[in-house]
Every structure is written in C-alpha cells, then in structure tokens.
Amino acid sequence: MQESAKEWNISFAGCGFLMAYYCGVYCCLFERAQFLLKRVKRICGASSGALMGAILASKCCENLLEMSREARKGTLGAVHPSFNLLKIVRNFLNRDLPDDAHLLANGRLFVSLTRASDGTNVLVSEFDSKEDLIQALICSCFYPLYCGFVFPIICFQRYVDGALSDNMPFSSLRSTITVSPFSGESDISPYGNPFYFHDIYYKNVSIHINFINAHRVVIAFFPPEPEMCQNGYKDAFLFLKENGE
C-alpha cells in the first residue's frame, strides 16, 4: 500500500477480550503507516471493536490493555461474581477519553448497535456529549447474559451488542480495511488454514473453521495474556508488507 491521497475506512470486529490484538495493530500502523491513520475517513466497530474505534478516534491508546489487566486480577478473573465488565469499561472511558471525545468522534466513528426489540442493526455516528458517546459504546458492548439482564438505553430504546447484527460495519466497501483477531478473509487477521477450505461469515466477519479459531472464540470471554498484542503487531506488519508499504 503506497502513500496516496486516497481516503480509507477501517472496521474492527467485535471480539471481547481479544481486543488486545488491536493494540498491536494500532502500534504497528502508528509506527509504520501514519499516513494511513491520518487519512482514515470512517472508523467503524462493534462491541470491543467499537471501543477500539473510539480510542483511535480520540487518540488515547496509552492504556488500551488496562481492562484486560484488571480482569485478570483474582483467582477467577472475569468469571468472578464481583467482576463487573461494564463498570470497568465505563470507568476507563470516563477517565481516559478527552472531554471533547464526542466532537472528535462525530461523523467519523460509527458504532454498531443491535436494537433489542427487533434485532435490527443501528449505526450511530453523532453524539451530543462525551456521556452520550460512552453510553453508545456501553450498549454496543452489552452481551446478553454475560453482561447482565437489564439492557442499556439510548433515547428510550434498549440496545445490546452490535456484533449480534453487524460485526464489521462497511466491510463490503473496497476502501475499508477490515481487522479481526480471528483467522479468515479480513485484511488484517491471523494466518490460519480452514479445514477443507471452509469458512463462515458471522455478521459480516469471515472466520475460518479450525481449532485455533474455536479456541479464540472461547477465550474472547476471558482475558488473554498480552502476547495477543504482539500477534496483532505482526499481522499488521504483514499486511503493510504485502500491500507495498
């Protein structure tokens, strides 16, 4: 990928705690392809992918792995009865997003939500305040049962995890760089051969059918070790190399 005047979109798949992979992707692009980050027109994501999008739009990536470190504390980690994922996410966003995060995100960040009443996908890209932005992200991350039973609300409508209706917004556009920690046909993703060359599409995300991806799906609900960050860096580097950067 050569530096040019072309504008790009970037879309992050929802992936739970595998979000650590995105930290490595960001570090690689920041170090080796800043021109690409500067020319991103739309930053899209569902669930944890939306969190990555908000962090990228607000340029506050310093503490990206903190949620995973917090979840690994204690014997049972994220499955401990006292663990409250959404509280950790909200505290992190309140502390680290700048006060004008909603202004930085308006028209640029597209958050995928699933309307609880009928399962319809809703893309939100306008936010009236920082709290409005944070509430949209909380809705996009709310996985039923895992996060609780009382669905969060925006404008009198209840929403749940955006990955349940569109896990990779704008993925069909050729100008969109797709990023996923599951091996498949995404532009930046781990290498992995599918069994019998089969893959599945889960809400617009290509996922190869293999044991490694099955393992990744399981650990998406449990905080992985930081080497996921290193894997993301490596795969982003390969993407840049293959595209001529």
Structure letter (DSSP) for residue 187: S
pLDDT in tens, 8-23: 999 999 998 888 899 8
The answer to whether position 1 is within a domain reads: no
pLDDT value for 75: 43
- Across the range 57-75, mean pLDDT stands at 64
Tell me the three state secondary structure of residue 56: helix
Res. 60 pLDDT band, cuts 50 70 90: confident
CB of 231 closer than 8 Å to CB of 26: no
Per-residue pLDDT at 221: 78
Res. 76 pLDDT band, cuts 50 70 90: very low
First to last CA, the chain: 5
- Domain membership of residue 79 (yes or no) is yes
Predicted local distance difference test score (pLDDT) of residue 153: 96
Helix (H) or strand (E) holding 242: helix 227-242
Cite the DSSP H helix spans in 1-63. Answer: 20-32, 34-38, 48-58
Does residue 110 lie within any of the structural domains? Answer: yes
* Catalytic residue ranges: 47, 161
- What is the tens place of the pLDDT at every residue in 134-190? 999 999 999 998 888 899 999 999 999 999 999 999 999 999 999 999 999 999 999
Run of H or E residues at 6: none
**Residue 190 within any structural domain of the chain:** no
What is the phi/psi pair of residue 188, to 5°? Answer: -115, 110
191 lies in a domain? Answer: no
- Nearest-angstrom CA–CA distance, 208 and 220: 16
Integer CA distances (angstroms), 225 to 64, 65, 143, 242, in order: 13, 10, 22, 28
Q: Mean of the per-residue pLDDT values for the chain?
A: 87
Query: Residues 161, 166, 168, 171: what is their CA dihedral angle, to the nearest 10 degrees?
Result: -170
pLDDT at 145: 87
pTM of the model: 0.90
Pair of tokens at residue 162: 């955006």
SS3 call for 77: helix
In a domain, residue 2? The reply is: no
Residue 87 is part of which domain span? 8-185+196-243
pLDDT at 240 over 80: yes
In a domain, residue 27? The reply is yes
Q: Is 33 inside any structural domain?
A: yes
Q: Domain count for the chain, please give it.
A: 1
Measure CA 180 to chain center.
Answer: 8
Q: How many helices, marked H, and strands, marked E, lie in the chain? A: 9, 9
- State the amino acid at position 180 in one-letter form: S
Query: Model confidence over 94-110: pLDDT tens digits?
Result: 999 999 999 999 999 99
